[in-house]
Amino acid sequence: MSLPIWTRAALSSEFQSFAGTCWRLVEAQHRVSTLKLSDTLADQALLEGLIEATKPMIPPECQHLDFLLATPFRYGADYPRGSRFRRAGRTPGVFYAAERPETAVAEMAFYRLLFFAESPETPWPSDAADYTAFSAEVLTARALDLTVLPLAQDEAIWSDLQAYEGCQDLADAARAEGCEAIRYRSVRDPKAGANLALLTCSTFARPAPVERQSWRIRLSASGVQALCEFPRQALEFPHSAFAADPRIGALRWERAR
């Protein structure tokens, strides 16, 4: 089927169940950064509360969730740039994650490199950056899987490296029919792992992350290296890892630190 044939009714007939975990990376300073600005934990809690009050509100249906799970569903401010399943503007939130932490790391590595590709005069960071990978349990009976037939027939649309309009059209139609999650192949992971786009916070089977990992990611002229403390593992992404995307293919690797 070509994209126009994927009507709301056609999509609803492809809904299936999904149960499993998904992984997402965030900067490890997401809470600790305010500690150095306060003298006590009570002061830090007050500061965190003041910062929280300035952010877009969390929808009522997500307010029981840990902030790591709820944050992508905040609304009240424009989404600055469209992503694969979310349009720019004041649009519903999407929780992007991967089925394996290695895929989540590859996604983060790509987007960190993309920043430097779009900022050619910015020097490489002087040290590795710390990230927390966390997993969440997902359970839904209304998921779409773009990696299997018949939806996989339009793989070229779902996996375009830069054009997201087809995926956004799909997400709009899927939401209208009550779709809660979309499973798709990562185009950033060299091993082509699977990603999840959660369209609603009701898909979380537990209100908080269930597992965490600590990662350090280093960017340099030689590529990207990622180390996990526990379980001990290492990943490396050379120049060729993301070069299929022309933005990374044109990246100037030699630059000052």
Classify residue 10: in a domain, yes or no.
yes
Q: Helix, strand or coil for residue 26?
A: strand
Q: Residue written as tokens 């916070």?
A: 201
Output the DSSP codes for 33-69: TTGGG-SSHHHHHHHHHHHHHHSPBPPGGGTTS-HHH
Classify residue 21: in a domain, yes or no.
yes
Are 175 and 92 within 8 A, CB to CB? yes
Rg (CA), the chain: 19
Structure tokens at 257: 């630190």
Structure tokens at 164: 């997201």
CA atoms within 13 A on the CB side of 256: 2
Q: Looking at residue 5, what is its pLDDT? A: 63
Classify residue 40: in a domain, yes or no.
no
Q: Residue written as tokens 């992984």?
A: 23
How does pLDDT run across 2-48, given as a tens digit for each residue?
455 678 888 999 999 999 999 999 998 655 666 666 668 786 677 66
Determine the distance from the C-alpha atom of residue 205 to the mean position of all C-alpha atoms in its chain, rounded to a whole number.
19
Classify residue 164: in a domain, yes or no.
yes
How does pLDDT run across 197-229, given as a tens digit for each residue?
999 999 999 999 999 999 999 999 999 999 998
Mean pLDDT of the chain: 91
Q: Pick the residue with more confidence: 168 or 35?
A: 168
Is the pLDDT score of 232 beyond 80?
A: yes
Structure tokens at 200: 């609603």
Q: Looking at residue 128, what is its pLDDT? A: 96
Averaged pLDDT for residues 120-137: 95
Classify residue 89: in a domain, yes or no.
no
Classify residue 102: in a domain, yes or no.
yes
Classify residue 256: in a domain, yes or no.
no
- Residue range of the domain that includes 12: 3-30+97-249
Q: Taking CA 192 as the corner, what is the angle to CA 187 and CA 198, rounded to the nearest 5 degrees? A: 65
Q: How many domains does the chain have?
A: 1
Residue 105: closest CA among 24, 5, 19: 24
* Phi/psi at 19 (5° precision): -140, 125
* Phi/psi at 136 (5° precision): -135, 145
Classify residue 68: in a domain, yes or no.
no
Output the DSSP codes for 138-177: EEEEEEEETTSTTGGGGHHHHT-SS--HHHHHHHHHHHHT
